Structure 1
Amino acid sequence: MSVPADEPGNPAHAIFERFLRAGECREVLGCFVELCQQLGLQGSGLQLYHGLKAALNYWNAKALWSKLDKKAGHKDYDQGTACAGTKCLVVGAGPCGLRAAIELALLGARVVLLEKRDSFSRNNVLHLWPFTIHDLRALGAKKFYGRFCTGTLDHISIRQLQLILLKVALLLGVEVHINVKFEGLVPPTHKAGGWQAVLQPSSSPLTHYEFDILISAGGGKFVPEGFKRKETRGKLAIGITTNFINRHSRAEVEVAEISGVARIYNQKFFQNLYNKTGIDLENIVYYKDDTHYFVMTAKKQSLLKKGVILQDKADIESLLSPENVNWDALLSYAKEAANFSTNYCLPELEFALNHRDLPDVDMFDFTCMTRSENAALVREHNGSRLLLGLVGDCLVEPFWPLGTGVARGFLAAFDAAWMVRRWAAGTPPLEVLAERESIYQHLSQTSPDNTNKNISQYSIDPATRYPNINLQAIKASQVPGQWTPRGRVTTGSALVGASTVSEELLSWCQASTAGYPGVAVTNFSTSWTSGLALCALIHHFRPDLVDFDSVDSQDAIQTNQIMLDIAEQELGIQPVLSSVEMATMTEPDRLDLITYLSHFYQVFRTSPGPLSPCGTRGALLFLSKLQKTLREGQTLPRAPMAAGTATGQGGCQAPGATPACPPPLQPPRERTGENSDACYFCGCRVYILERASAEGRFFHRGCFQCRRCGATLRLGDYAFDEEDGHFYCSLHYPHPPSMDLARDEASPGGDVREEEVPRAEPQQTAEEGEETGGRRKIILTPLEKLSLSTLNLTSEAEPEPPLKPPRLRPQAAPEALPARRQGHGACQEEEEEEEEEEEEKIDTQKDLREEEKYPTWKRTLARRARESQMKRFCRAQAIQRRLEEIEVTFRELEQQGIKLEKLLRDENESPADQQTQWTNQLLYLVQKKNNLMTEESDLMIAVQELKLEEQQCQLDEKLRSYMNKEDTLKTPEDEKAEQEILKQLVEVVNKRNILIQLQEEKRLSELQA
């Protein structure tokens, strides 16, 4: 006779405890089979779950049943009947496949999941968005993994996440089969039959399983036939991941994590890393979980110099092939980067082992990211329909620095479950597909900031997650049978497609300069040499920028130079020719002039009346001038002049206002680049499409590098020394500005070394209550108040507290605790953590000193600091990735432009219609280049914002250290340093204010347009 499940000594209790603690895939499956046998349960689906719940009336299972019952009771599942009778096959037991399987099981479907492996061995750590943390808590994650998201942790290893989801899936009746590989589909052979799978081994009994839903979660390399893929390619990007054994010692706990630091806004750290170790990185992240996990992007030349990559090869696959990698050098490279980034504070690092029992270090290429063009399709054979859907990497390959993989993967799993629910409800197939693709449009752009804020309401219904979603954005008529992406028709300006480009452009120039004395535009050579025609063209649209009557028509070079400067500095139009070349214009140079004037055509033709220059290009130019102004020690301008502030020097004006008087013409800057065809850096020929210019110098974009470190420079983010004629990055400018921070070499996530200056503690905010017990109140500076309220920043250099110690239970009446929870300022995450603590009866006898050292308000600020750091890192990585994609597109345009220019300049005469076609194509490429430059300008403004945010956070922390020091203990050196930091902080805040003003004016200008 079997022992009842609720009696003491019941062996099912011990089996269930082993199931909860099981740390290997096979162990989990074995324990679950044993548990079902012990309880005499068979079958699958929710019927099995209800049988388990009834048979296992065990105290340690009740909290879990309560959570799962609450989850299963959601209206979307119709009490587990929404998809009753539906048979699903899920391929892949990664986090996304398991999460999709769980939702399908809750809907009442029969779910079979295949996994070709029999172990979970991926130590890599995933960043979790707030909704994923809430979602996993609702599934009872802490019951299976007690350390789940405790304290300030917001991440988990892939292996632990798979184990949690596998256990939940098994309890909900998902049939999981390991060591089974999916190889294809078998259509039904007769009308009454269903779809089957080709499996390895072929002896698997699942080869006879018939299903009508296939969800593929097999990874980026496995996509079922019929789905089309597209890719986005950036510059070469080589990632390195490594895991070290975490012994959870006190020393290891004290080391601060690095939520993410990027070169794009913290160049100092990476330059110090390179100087001391020869390791050259673009970014680095460090998380602690079961392992110490580091992930970084390394530069190819650094890997070559350090001997990690043996030979440089053009083909990326060959470059990173095992035979071209020195394994020992790679291990050394990864360990050295990890030690430096944590300031050598981790105990001796020992590599964790992967599934092959080798050090868990991997080097991979993520230059090319792929995504599916469609998320679902339907196949039909012999009257039997099969709905196929994608989730995880085979739907969208994540860009790992953004932490989007698991978050968007879970969203896609919910979307796929919603699709299956609609399918099971009898919705016509084309409507199901159209709705799925309408939802899919949102996935690649989702972030914690643009999804619904009430994460507790998230369900498989997309309306609970995506604000203002239009489920009919794509119509059923657009997805006939197999969805075909809609082609977007892109058109250039009216200039492109004109039968004779030069004639239309010439007519426009003639109409725009008509009536100006001394100006007679008849061609693209001699008509422009005096500079008066260009002056008239600018004056016609922007009379506030130039006084035509004051132009000296006798000095053609100076007049042309003044016009080139105005066009560049006030309109954002880069020169294509030098002033000398303009003054000696000949017929062979007409192609350069046509290209240059087409920029004016593109800018002016879309703006009726006087042009407002508050566009992106003007903003970028202002940033360049602002940097130079600060370096030269001049006073900060009150408003961005080049971006169009109306202060009598030209700029944005209200509609109908009289144009401001133009400033008197100033002598042009001395220019040395008289030959626009030769690159200033390498001296080689530079063609029109590859030509960039700065400070009167013409060059290839690829040659625009820092003189000292060779870093790639971009327009709007460089320094120029007029004395030596060289360009530098902001870090290596020969005369660095006073606001450059003396950043410590190590630990970008927080310096944990002992310092002479005592580290200040974060200020307690009003909403968090007053600290008692004789604690010294921390003073907040006015600039800190600005950063914490207006700019929503906190210090990020505070060491991360260890895992959250259990809270001492309040000695109040039982009803007092819920009342406190309902008070203002209690965040959702904190409430959930308190509920978990109560449910699991965590030990309350903790060291009082730990509670004093890491109080609640301090944890809150630490969490906010980490969130701020993560947001900045994600923004930086998204910007960096897009800049790299733009760079690749630039190169493609340049190659096409060079071919066209060579054809047009060929001495052999070509038919006129052929010349016209080539000219059209060239100018179309120029327009595409201009559009890319506009987008690049917007991104560079965002880069400037990130740099200023990073600088302000560092200065806030430094200033707090001094401000919170007792006045009687301050030395004269302390007071001087405090004033210097305050001065630097004021400069940073002023620059941020100017950027905010600049963007507001840009926005208003766009609205007026």
Structure 2
Amino acid sequence: MGEKEDERTSQAGQLFENFVQATTCKGTLQAFSILCRQLELNLSDHRGFYSSLKAAVTYWKAKGLWGKLDKRASHKEYSKGKACTDTRCLIIGGGPCGFRTAIELALLGAKVVVIEKRDTFSRNNVLHLWPYTIHDLRNLGAKKFYGKFCAGSIDHISIRQLQLMLLKIALIVGVEVHVNVEFVKLLEPPEGQGTDGPGWRAEVRPADHQISDYEFDVIIGADGRRSTLDGFKRKEFRGKLAIAITANFVNRNTTAEAKVEEISGVAFIFNQKFFLELKEETGIDLENIVYYKDNTHYFVMTAKKQSLLDKGVIINDYIETERLLASDNVNQEALLSYAREAADFGTNYQLPSLDYAINHYGQSDVAMFDFTCMYASENAALVREKNSHQMLVALVGDSLLEPFWPMGTGCARGFLAAFDTAWMIKGWAQGKEPLDLLSERESIYRLLPQTTAENISKNFEQYTIDPATRYPNLNSTCVRPHQVRHLYINGEQGLSSLERSGPTRTSVNISRRESEVRPSRLLLWCQKQTQGYRGVDVTDLTTSWRSGLALCALIHSQRPDLIDFDSLNEAGCAKNNQLAFDVAEREFGIQPVTTGKEMNAERGPDKLIMVLYLSKFYEMFRNSPQSITETDANNEDYSSKTTNSLYSSINQALPRKRIPKVLMPNQSAPPVGEREEQKENKVRSMATQLLARFEENAPSCGVRRQTSMRKEFTQGLGGSDTCHFCKKRVYIMERLSAEGYFFHRECFRCNICGCTLRLGGHAFDSNQGTFYCKLHFSQRKISSRHPRGEVILIILLNRCSQPINQTVIQLRIGYTRTFDFRLLQLEEVEEKQRALEEKGVALEKILRETGDDSTDETTLLQTWFKLVLEKNKLSRYESELMIFAEELELEDTQSQLQQDLRRRMATEGGFVMMHIMLVKSLE
């Protein structure tokens, strides 16, 4: 009996070892199938499968793996594998992020099925791994499956090796995996059968596959940037052209190859000699190069366009990136030669042979692309309901957010998103309200694009699917439930009308909404929000607001905690208004366009000012629970749900030079009624004629605005009507505000260098009332706090800093490109804003010349309101870009300081201490 037991144990151990050592996807699945059949394991018992396997395989090599998986499964969040016992999930895509998500859901006790349209893992590219990613994979037993995991001098792994490892772990914990199965579309539950009838299913290819009968209540898209799931609008980010080349060469694992040193990352700005010699010897001009040694010899480099043209890689020089890098404009043989030459030079010709590895297309594995072209989904999840069946839909990996993979960002953020998604699904299984669930998920998703290896929690051992264990600055309520109502899709309309024809539907809705945009609706909304407040009777957009009580009531109706309305004195007009302006700017980011004192003027506040100002409250709060009432008959929605649709009306309304598609893609113009079109044409004609008159006699000032437009109004102006800098008229639409001052966009400049400033990107000296760029403001602070000798030393320390580790190379290669791209976007936004301001100035002039009771005044005011709403959308987008740019700048600075410190620690201790003291003194 003992011999038979030993024989069975030995057989089980050998079968499991065959599974562990399998080197291909097909081989792994085959070995796993044999293992389950021979050991009589029940694959359909997903909750008990891992325990059965662990009981059957008891040889010593497996025990270490069981210990690691048991430790992971012991997290309280999994509730001993019972947190999601009645949840059925379908994951589309068998990439690293798809499998990582599947593992977490299986540990929660869910039934998990993964479908993958291929049956091979053939992506040779090598990933740099963040420290937490390495820790996570080691805790899952990575070294049991791949003994060389992170054993080299640089922490990296090939994508296919990572896929293979995660596939094996997923199978062990009970995930069901099907290859050669392609997702086609969702199939809705049939009508008339209620909750007892069939639920959500998927149409797949082949149509007769067993998975076509699988019913699920959670579906996750993990199939890459071309995600097949509907309902997720995607934003495209494209920076200044940066052409990346990736190349994989066969690694024969010889002694000579083993001796060749890897290149963690060399950039031109840190080693100009290397790149100048490369260009002189080969004609190849690069910005940077990275070399990793893994299953292949992997190189990634950024090449300069002119070099590619000179070497015949790119045939014709086109302006459009898509056309420039199209396959018919690339000489493939020249590209192969270019990458091989660069790799040869980069390794000092020490690799004995550079034969290309073969990709999944059966071709030499070399690729060229613009790596600043990236995609991101505007939302991370949504809920569908049809015929009493609810389904949670989510994205992970590149389907959700596409960063620059070779630097490890894609893998690290992909795993974080997998944990966040698992956390959401746990809440779903526990009956959390859909809108609360979605608002929390979107709040967490806002952190993901900002995440770096430096700003996540460093206590990796404490990481769980709970976001609070990973994000130090987590605010899971920054998105409120009312802001995600559009992500709860009730099935009154079929899938085809909801998403398949999404752009058409959006255009139709824009058309309907555009025709209804008018100040009267703004007035009606304001009346509803302020109804019943003491001393408030809103009957117009001017005198009703003079006392300031109406503005305070408007804020109080949304956020009662911000203003003590009962304490306000109706006679304190200026004080009340200024209180409202200050609170709105501080809490909501709504800039004032006038002052409390001016609101108290005898004539009352200006109508155009109030339309502009109140519209910002209207757009921010009209969908809040306090604002939505049954009497809102038209139920129009001015807050577009996607970035692209925000700007479609702007692109159509204003004639100006073409803006590149990357920032705000043009959409098909919505049809408008004949009467509306005639009014619009009339207004455009009047505005165009007026502009022509002004421009005919005005000298160019380097911008599109003409100073002569203000001359009639310059005399006798003060307060918000006058630009703080040039002392000339500043019209309402072009008015910017900061630190209590009002000014033109082009007048907002640094007091030292004269560069144009951006709101949120400036510094202010309150003692002198002067504005600065941050660089010169910092220099002024240093000069005032340190002797001249110390200042020079600080500057030298900063200049001699030469970051060398991979994180900073990531910043240099990836984030710096993204930062440049954000600046490009800001410039494009500003151009659109100038065009809107120009038109707004012309309309304001016409409105002030037109009688209040005229028909033209009503038409023009309606058009003014449209322009105001469009400008508000642009301003919000500009604010988001500024925040993102600021975050990138801070991340870059932090990383440089850290590298500075590490490098100094290798030098004399006294010098290091001096540096530390200087840095601390500047904090």
| Correspondence list, 1:261-660, <5 A | 261-263=266-268, 266-400=271-405, 402-480=407-485, 482=487, 494=593, 570-574=751-755, 608-611=766-769, 615-619=773-777, 640=779, 645=784
Which amino acid in 1 is paired with 2:821? E
Is 1:882 matched up with 2:819?
yes
Q: 1:927 to 1:187 in 2, by over 3 A?
A: closer
- Aligned AA for 1:645? S
CA displacement, residues 466-523 of structure 1 (integer Å, 9 cap, x when unaligned): 1242322223233226169x9x987567389869977887667899999xxxxxx997
The answer to whether the Cα contact below 8 Å between 2:97 and 2:396 also exists between their aligned partners in 1 is: yes
Say if 1:616 and 1:934, in contact at 8 Å, map to a contact too.
no
Aligned to 2:90: 89
Deviations 1:341-390 (A, max 9, x none): 23333333221111233211111233332211111111111111111111
CA offset at residue 434 of structure 1?
A: 1.7
Confirm whether residue 206 of structure 1 aligns to residue 198 of structure 2: no
Q: 1:996 to 1:90 in 2, by over 3 A?
A: same
Deviation at 1:195, TM superposition (A): 0.6
Shift of 1:923: 12
Deviations 1:140-197 (A, max 9, x none): 1111100011253411100000111001111111110000000111111132211100
Measured in 2, the distance between the counterparts of 1:321 and 1:419 equals 40
Shift of 1:607: 5.8
**1:791-839 Cα deviation digits (max 9, x unpaired):** 999x98xxxxxxxxxxxxxxxxxxxxxxxxxxxxxxxxxxxxxxxxxxx
Partner of 2:188: 187
Residue correspondence of structure 1 range 163-182 to structure 2 within 5 A? 163-182=164-183
Instruction: Give the fraction of aligned pairs with identical amino acids, expressed as a percent.
Output: 47
Aligned counterparts of 1:242 and 1:901: Cα–Cα separation in 2: 50
Quickly say closer, same or farther: Cα 1:993–1:199, change in 2 above 3 A. Answer: same
SS in structure 1 of the partner of residue 754 of structure 2: coil
Deviation of 1:425 (Å): 1.2
Structure with higher helix content: 2
Change (3 A) 1:210 1:899: closer
Q: Distance in 2 between matches of 1:938 and 1:185?
A: 39
Distance in 1 (CA, whole Å) between partners of 2:880 and 2:141 is: 50
**C-alpha separation in 1, matches of 2:173 and 2:715:** 74
CA distance in structure 1 between the aligned counterparts of 2:883 and 2:112, rounded to whole angstroms = 50
Pick closer, same or farther for the CA change 1:942–1:71 going to 2, 3 Å.
closer
Cα distance, 1:461–1:641 mapped onto 2, change above 3 Å: closer
Moved more, 930-939 or 65-74: 930-939
How far is the alpha carbon of 1:277 from its aligned partner? 2.6
2:48 alignment partner, SS class: helix
Offset of residue 79 of structure 1: 1.4
The one-letter code of the counterpart of 2:329 is N
Structure 1 position 216, deviation (Å): 1.0
Q: Which residue of 2 aligns with 1:762?
A: none
1:242 corresponds in structure 2 to 247
Cα separation, 2, equivalents of 1:934 and 1:506: 38
Deviation of 1:225 after TM superposition, in Å, equals 0.9
Q: Is the 8 A contact 2:9 2:58 kept in 1?
A: no
- Letter of the 2:315 partner, please give it: L
Shift of 1:424: 1.0
Corresponding residue number in structure 2 for 1:870: 807
State how 1:820-859 maps to structure 2 within 5 Å. none
> CA separation of 1:994/1:612 partners in 2, compared to 1, >3 Å: closer, same or farther?
farther
Say which structure, 1 or 2, has more relative contact order (CA 8 Å, 6+ apart).
1
CA contact (8 A) 1:615 1:643 kept: no
8 Å CA contact retained: 2:186, 2:200 = yes
Tell me the secondary structure at the aligned position of residue 248 of structure 1.
coil
Tell me which residue corresponds to 1:39: 39
Which amino acid counterpart does residue 117 of structure 1 have in structure 2? R
**1:125, 1:289 within 8 Å by CA — same for their partners in 2?**
yes
Aligned residue for 1:90, secondary structure, equals: strand
Amino acid at match of 2:202: A
Residue ranges of structure 1 left out of the alignment (5+ in a row): 515-520, 525-540, 542-565, 576-597, 623-639, 653-736, 741-782, 797-865, 964-981, 1001-1009
1:915-948 Cα deviation digits (max 9, x unpaired): x999x99999999999999998998899899889
* Distance of 1:483 and 1:212 partners within structure 2: 14
Aligned amino acid, residue 610 of structure 1: Q
Q: Secondary structure at the match of 2:177?
A: strand
Aligned letter for 1:878?
Y
In 2, Cα distance between the equivalents of 1:440 and 1:37? 42
CA drift of 1:215 comes to 1.1
How many Å separate the matches in 2 of 1:912 and 1:994?
61
CA 1:242–1:419 in structure 2 vs 1: closer, same or farther (change >3 Å)? same
- Cα displacement (A) at 1:294: 1.1
The gaps in structure 2 that reach 5 residues or longer are 490-557, 559-586, 596-607, 613-708, 730-740, 742-746, 851-859
Tell me how far apart the structure 2 counterparts of residues 443 and 286 of structure 1 sit (CA, whole Å). Answer: 27
Q: CA deviation at 1:615?
A: 4.5
Query: CA, structure 1 residues 66+341, in 2 after alignment: closer, same or farther (shift >3 Å)?
Result: same
Following superposition, the deviation at residue 261 of structure 1 comes to 3.0
Distance in 2 between residues matched to 1:468 and 1:607, nearest whole Å:
29
* Deviation string, structure 1 residues 317-342 (Cα, Å, up to 9, x no partner): 22222221111111111112222223
**C-alpha separation in 1, matches of 2:905 and 2:319:** 45
SS in 2 for 1:111: strand
Question: What is the DSSP-based 3-state SS (H/G/I as helix, E as strand, rest coil) of the residue aligned with 1:354?
Answer: coil
Map 1:99-178 to 2 at 5 A. Answer: 99-178=100-179
Q: Pick closer, same or farther for the CA change 1:360–1:934 going to 2, 3 Å.
A: closer
Match of residue 669 from structure 2: none
Aligned to 1:51: 52
User: Separation in 1 of the partners of 2:876 and 2:176?
Assistant: 56
Kindly state the Cα deviation for residue 879 of structure 1 after the two structures are TM-superposed: 2.7
| Equivalent AA in structure 1 for residue 784 of structure 2 | T
| Distance in 1 (alpha carbons) for counterparts of 2:187 and 2:875 | 51
For the residue of structure 1 that corresponds to 2:446, the secondary structure is helix
- Closer/same/farther in 2, CA of residues 454 and 204 from structure 1, 3 Å limit: same
1:314 and 1:17 map into 2 onto residues whose CA distance is 55
Match of 2:233 in 1: 228
Q: TM-score of the superposition, structure 1-length normalised?
A: 0.58
Deviation at 1:203, TM superposition (A): 1.2
Indicate how the Cα distance of structure 1 residues 278 and 792 shifts in structure 2: closer, same or farther if over 3 A, else same.
closer
CA contact (8 A) 1:378 1:481 kept: no
Check conservation: 1:570, 1:643, Cα contact below 8 A.
Answer: no
TM superposition score normalised by structure 2: 0.64
Q: Retained in 1: the 8 A contact 2:92–2:98?
A: yes
Task: Report SS of the residue matched to 2:447.
Answer: helix
Aligned residues: 678
The answer to whether the 8 A contact 1:3-1:10 is kept is no
Q: CA deviation at 1:246?
A: 1.9
Residue of structure 2 equivalent to 1:27: 27
Q: Deviations over 1:768-804 (max 9, x none)?
A: xxxxxxxxxxxxxxx9xx99xxx999x98xxxxxxxx
User: Aligned pair in 2 of structure 1 residues 954, 376: CA closer, same or farther (>3 Å)?
Assistant: closer
Aligned-partner Cα distance in 1 for 2:350–2:829 = 46
Residues 572 and 91 of structure 1, relative CA distance in 2, 3 Å threshold: same
Q: 1:390 to 1:899 in 2, by over 3 A?
A: closer
SS in 2 for 1:371: strand
